[in-house]
């Protein structure tokens, strides 16, 4: 990452106050600013840091009025926090990997889009369909007939069980498990329990984030559904048929 302040302002639609040719090469907290660092100021309780930060540039609100001289270049924008998040996302996308590890086990009939990354010791079963720009990090498992949409990332150790449908622009963080059996048991007259087969699947729509070690169980019949835009943190259990 190495951009001028002017280039950054053009990407997010901001206006520059200071040196437009100053170079930025990293992201920094405003209170821990570094030369060539880019920071943001969105919370008023951090305002005092802008007068002492060593960051090269800081995103600020359009109506920000400094009460002392500032040592950095300002980029004025409507929402500094959101703009900073967009820049970090843009940077992350630039770092996306491409290529298939020789240590991955991939069924012959798997269909893949463009710019795919598949890491070491990934296992992909028969009938899987992968969209464009899918990123699958090491030690992931994708079961039979799973479909994964464009721009979706599976971080290390994610498991997607058979028949599940994953949308576009989703992120699954380390250890997430999608489509494991729902907890279904039928009581019997001898006080034992019969396991009820879970014959459904999990459908995850677009723009969903699933945190590390979160589990989403497949339905008994039909689908467990996570709708568009849902954000789940770590260690969450979504039961079958939800």
> Taking Cα atoms as reference points, which of 17, 16, 45, 12 lies closest to residue 31?
45
Helix (H, G, I), strand (E, B) or coil at 48: helix
Helix (H, G, I), strand (E, B) or coil at 47: helix
Residue 11: its H or E element: helix 5-12
Helix (H, G, I), strand (E, B) or coil at 221: coil
- Rounded CA separation 157/136 (Å): 9
240 is catalytic: yes
Tokens of 186: 């039928």
Catalytic residue among 103, 162, 227, 240: 240
Q: How far is CA 192 from CA 184, 187, 217, 220, 240, in A?
A: 13, 6, 23, 20, 22
Tell me phi and psi for residue 85, to 5 degrees.
-60, -40
**Residues assigned a catalytic role:** 240
């Amino acid at each position: 990452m190495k951009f001028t302040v002017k280039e950054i302002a053009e990407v997010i639609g901001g206006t520059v106050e200071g040196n437009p040719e100053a170079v930025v090469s990293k992201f920094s907290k405003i209170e821990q600013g570094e030369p060539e660092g880019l920071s943001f100021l969105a919370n008023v309780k951090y305002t005092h840091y802008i007068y002492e930060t060593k960051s090269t540039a800081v995103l600020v609100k359009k109506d920000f009025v400094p009460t002392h001289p500032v040592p950095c270049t300002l980029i004025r924008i409507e929402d500094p926090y959101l703009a900073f998040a967009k820049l970090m996302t843009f940077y992350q996308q630039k770092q996306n990997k491409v290529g298939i590890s020789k240590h991955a086990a991939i069924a012959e009939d798997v269909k893949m889009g463009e710019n795919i990354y598949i890491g070491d010791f990934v296992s992909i079963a028969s009938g899987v369909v992968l969209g464009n720009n899918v990123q699958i990090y090491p030690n992931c498992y994708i079961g039979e007939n799973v479909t994964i949409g464009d721009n979706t990332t599976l971080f290390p150790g994610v498991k997607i069980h058979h028949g599940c449908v994953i949308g576009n622009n989703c992120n699954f963080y380390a250890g997430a498990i999608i489509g494991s059996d729902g907890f279904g048991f039928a009581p019997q007259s001898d006080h034992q329990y019969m396991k009820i087969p879970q014959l459904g699947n999990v459908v995850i729509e677009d723009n969903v984030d699933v945190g590390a070690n979160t589990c989403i169980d497949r339905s008994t019949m039909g689908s467990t559904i996570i709708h568009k835009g849902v954000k789940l943190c770590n260690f969450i259990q979504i039961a079958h048929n939800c």
